[in-house]
Amino acid sequence: KAGVTQTPRYLIKTRGQQVTLSCSPISGHRSVSWYQQTPGQGLQFLFEYFSETQRNKGNFPGRFSGRQFSNSRSEMNVSTLELGDSALYLCASSLEPARYGYTFGSGTRLTVV
């Protein structure tokens, strides 16, 4: 079966712009989580969506937001981009949160210049 699909794979944006990243989970998975990976901070949890509702949120500023659609696809948006937002953004889907291994996508590498 198809894995977790993230688009685009690479993105270059200018400071101050906004960006939207997309994630299509494995069919049947209703939980979608987002993580940010940077060399300095490592892997950090952004938020989790389950059946279109945000259930859990990490410690990130309000510039980071997300949503989930009825087909479980999810998007995350970052507004007013800063240089420090340059990172690999990883999406993970799960059939049942915490009880099963999360399946991650290949990520979107965002570079802010």
Partner 1 sequence: AQKVTQAQTEISVVEKEDVTLDCVYETRDTTYYLFWYKQPPSGELVFLIRRNSFDEQNEISGRYSWNFQKSTSSFNFTITASQVVDSAVYFCALSEVQETSGSRLTFGEGTQLTVNP
Chain residues binding partner 1 by CB under 8 A are 31, 33, 35, 42-45, 48, 50, 55-56, 58, 88, 90, 92, 97-107, 109
User: How near is the Cβ of 7 to partner 1 at its closest, in Å?
Assistant: 14
Pick the closer one to partner 1 by CB: 16 or 88.
88
Q: Identify whether the C-beta of residue 6 lies closer than 8 Å to the C-beta of residue 105.
A: yes
User: How near is the Cβ of 84 to partner 1 at its closest, in Å?
Assistant: 19
* Distance between start and end Cα atoms, the chain: 37
User: How near is the Cβ of 75 to partner 1 at its closest, in Å?
Assistant: 18
CA distance 24 to 104: 11
Q: What is the dihedral of CA 10, 12, 16, 20, to 10 degrees?
A: -30
